[in-house]
Amino acid sequence: MAAEVTEAGSRAADRTFCREVLPRVSRTFAICIRLLPPELDHAVLIAYLLCRVADTVEDSLRLDAEDKERLLRHFSACLEPEGPEAHPLRAAFPSPGDDEERLAHEADIVLREFRRLPSPQQDAIRPWVQEMCAGMADVVRRKGSSEDGAAHLEALATVEELDRYCYYVAGTVGHLLTDLFHLHAGPRQRERYHALDSLATSFGLGLQLTNIVKDVADDRRRGWSFVPQELCQLAGITPDQLHDGRHRDASRRVMHRLIAKAKDHLLDALEYSTLLARRQYGIRLFCLTALYFAVQTLELAERDDRLLDPDHKVKITRSAVLHTIAMTRMVAPSNTLVRWYFRRLAGTDWARARPGRPATSDS
């Protein structure tokens, strides 16, 4: 009996940690997860925290490239049914400097919660997080790490490299979520699942590109640019000159190209969301809320003259967040209303008709 009480206490403490750390590492995702049905919300929360552990390792300025690769490989192995514990991550972040590092330091807590999930949910999560770890290790090998962001700027070379990076860090998440949604819906939704899966990468890329646009100045301070050299060259500048006020017009052209790319992927995200069955109300809420937040963020970024200012942050207001959630609850059951609200947020020029897309009903 004492052992059972101890185990119950350990489970409760682990779950509490995961619930409490989530809004500290992602306020937006914490809001969206609460909209999911009870059978899904915890699995999605744990999957997201696993991804954030990998992301923290890849982003760390205190680790060199060799250590990052080693830790990403080890963390990937931890996800196997008989995998090791994450002691090397605890050792890599002995005195966490922020909530992300604290999460990596306590990765074993998240792994314990992962192993408590039903086996089908573990199987839906594992391969995608492992592919993310492998992709991040590849990125680390190519870009190395920069201790002095102000002295040297590392940048992706091509749009193809940007797409590959976004796939590893976000496209994989789109497929992970789609697999969890399919488990929840059951095998009778197989045809719908294949349609969703064909759009899952694009949904993930749309959200990631939005984050890249929003965080372009923050990334510059860390010595990294996700804006490809190829796009800068088309405007006649270098990545180093992107934040130089003397090249303001060229810099804005570069960012508008990146914003247009994100918009195109978010149109796929809209199609993804309308393909979800109406009875999957909580899942529709989750996807649409994330989509509408991204749409508003891009609209702000496109109009913001201070987008590239290192002392400025593009951010939708708390009142806009609350209004969006309320509106999403109203429109989510109807694809007609879903598209109407998208057009209201994005404008008619963005929310253009896309020929060749299958029509989706309110079923």
Question: What is the rounded CA–CA span in Å between residue 322 and residue 260?
Answer: 26
Domains detected in the chain: 1-117 (no CATH), 146-363 (1.10.600.10)
Instruction: Enter the pTM of the model.
Output: 0.91
| pLDDT values of the chain reduced to their tens digit, one per residue, 363 residues | 545 546 667 889 999 999 999 999 998 889 999 999 998 999 999 999 999 999 999 989 889 999 999 999 999 999 999 999 999 999 999 999 999 999 999 999 999 999 999 999 999 999 999 999 999 998 888 765 444 444 457 888 999 999 999 999 999 999 999 999 999 987 777 788 999 999 999 999 999 999 999 999 888 887 788 999 999 999 999 988 998 889 999 999 999 999 999 999 999 999 999 999 999 999 999 999 999 999 999 999 999 988 988 778 888 999 999 999 999 999 999 999 999 999 999 987 786 545 444 444 454
Q: Which residues pair with 154 in a beta bridge?
A: 224
Kindly give, in sequence order, each residue whose CB lies less than 8 Å from that of residue 228, ignoring residues fewer than 6 positions away.
155, 156, 157, 158, 159, 161, 162
Write b or e for each residue in 27-64: b if 16 or more Cβ atoms lie within 10 A of its Cβ, otherwise e: ebbbbbbbbbeeebbbbbbbbbbbbbbbbbbbbbeebe
List, in sequence order, the alpha helices (H) in 188-247.
Answer: 190-214, 216-221, 229-234
Question: What is the rounded CA–CA span in Å between residue 156 and residue 341?
Answer: 35
For residue 169, the 8-state DSSP code is I
The residue type of 131 is E
Q: How confident is the model at residue 243, as a pLDDT?
A: 87
In degrees and rounded to multiples of 5, residue 162 shows phi and psi of -60, -45
